[in-house]
Chains A and B, each alone.
Chain A
Amino acid sequence: MTKAMAIATISSPMLLGTPSVAVSLEAEYIGQHAQEPWDSIQQLNSIGIADLFHDLGQLAIECERPGWDGDGADPVLPSTIDQAVRLLRALPPGMSRPTLGVEPDGQITFEWYTSPKQVLSVSVCSDGNLYFAALLGAARHFGREPFFGDMPDEILRLVHRVAA
């Protein structure tokens, strides 16, 4: 199936609201992967990430073209969406939920936020690394971690400190 022809119902069983049809390879990817056995709507709801999948689908659609911001932004690549889906799945149950965003270099951000000076932002890109920066009061932490499908310990520690 070509990208132009890829038509996915991204809300099929993973989403809570009314179904929305999207013309997007990324959305199709998310739709397909969210139908795998562990991703039943009950499971997604119970760990509170159904809405994050929905947000990710929206981002994929809004930012799939170069220049989506009108200022030369890079597109969000399917491989970046792939990594973001993997990171969503790697969120341990009970962990505070991030909000998603997108950067003009085509990377997707996961943000854990308590206040402007108690915040962690993680950028997901297609190169297999997670780039993170956190402000915890006056303390600054930043770095990169390879991502193999499990949430890196350093990022887990920072999430807990932001939420503390």
Chain B
Amino acid sequence: MSDAAGTGSLQDDEVVIRFVVSKRNIRQDKTVKPEAFMPPKSLDLSVTHVANRSMQAIWERGHAVAKSHAIAAKREIRLIGGAELTSRDVRAAHPLDVVEAPIPEDQWHAHIVGWPPFGEEKERTKMLMILLASRAKYQPFPIPT
């Protein structure tokens, strides 16, 4: 893909980020735990793709995501960092795929799709989560100086 947001699949070499908002999802060695990739009931796992944006713009988006979660949960939730994957990494966890899913708040929003039905085949879902986590690169949210 492209500089302009659309609705198709992302190219293999495109990088997507899953925002991490719980310290529990990061191990002591700064690797990402599979829990960070658990799909929601809709089976559309939200990520944002980097495209040609600055990291500052991406972190701003992540901060907004964490803030919306905090409001919904009525407790403090902060952006911890991001788990980076290429589309190729996602597709290596067959049958997962990553597709554009722009939303008003984020034209670079995308979904990781292709999960087993929610509540069924949990073991297969876990295997896919582990595969994504094994390829993810953790980027900590920089602490403002």
> A residues bordering B, Cβ < 8 Å?
67-72, 99, 101-105, 107, 109, 111, 113, 116-117, 119, 121, 123, 125, 131-135, 140, 142-144
Contact = CB atoms under 8 A, between A and B. Distances in A.
Contacts of B134: 116-117, 119, 135
B73 interface: yes
A68 B77 CA distance: 10
Contacts of B77: 69-70
A122 to B, nearest CB: 9
B38 interface: yes
Given A140-B131, A142-B123, 12 more contacts: A68-B75, A70-B71, A105-B118, A109-B34, A109-B35, A116-B31, A116-B135, A116-B136, A121-B126, A135-B131, A140-B127, A143-B123
A70 B65 CA distance: 10
Interface in B39-57: 40-41
B139 interface: no
Interface residues on B, range: 35 or more
Contact of B24 (A70, A101, A143): A101
B130 A121 contact: yes
B130 A134 contact: yes
Contacts of B41: 72
